Amino acid sequence: MSVTLGPLLPVVVIDDADTARPLAEALRDGGIRHIEVTLRTPAALDALREMATVDGVTVGAGTVLTGEQADAATAAGASFLVSPGWDAALGEHMRRRDLTWLPGVATPSEAMAARAAGFSRLKLFPVELLGGVAFVDALAAVLPDVVFAPSGGIRVDQAADYLSRPCVETVGGSWMAPRDLVARRDFAGVTAASRAAVEALP
């Protein structure tokens, strides 16, 4: 199974599953088609399950650390899975299950290990701490067949610069659905933030 991600991937932390549907609808109405729900809260799986029923969006799970989490997220409707780091055993689990997985890498060695295991779409995290666009360029020069999904500290005004790189498929960040807006149930604000992010792209 393979899922092609859009240019912007909101990374959302959901504390209350009741906000899941209106949040997904708000992001969609702002032009976002893919959403990563991080498995960082007790509400995450219920939220993912609810979002997966919303027309016009494809939902995945982030912060996947174990095979059990991957299976639970997939059962809840996740179409893709994202991890903050590289784990060979987790990679083997994903391969057996034929799941779309973006493992995280932070070094050339990790990127090489993931690539050797058959994963050529990689989350680059935390990219701004690693050197930002310059680090993407450095890795792309030596791993030309790898596609990156940078995430971690990226601002809305930096997204277009990352996406101008041929090796970058999608950019992850929280600016499209800030946690404080979601907590206040300001879904109109989420739609506005999402629309502004989409319109800022070339």
Q: Which of 25, 36, 50, 169 is catalytic?
A: 36
d(C-alpha 80, C-alpha 70), whole Å: 9
Straight-line distance from the first to the last Cα atom of the chain, in angstroms, rounded to the nearest whole number: 30
Edge-to-edge strand order for the sheet containing 171-173?
101-102, 81-82, 58-62, 34-38, 8-12, 171-173
Residues 6+ apart with CB under 8 A from 4: 169
Q: Which of 50, 92, 110, 123 is catalytic?
A: 123
Respond yes or no: is residue 123 known to be catalytic.
yes
| CA atoms within a 13 Å half-sphere pointing along the CA-CB vector of 15 | 9
For strands 121-124 and 147-150, give the pairing.
parallel
List the structure tokens of 68: 């059990």
Residues 6+ apart with CB under 8 A from 173: 8, 9, 10, 11, 151, 154, 155, 156, 159
Count of Cβ atoms closer than 10 Å to residue 75 Cβ: 11
Respond yes or no: is residue 25 known to be catalytic.
no
Looking at the annotation, which residues are catalytic?
36, 123
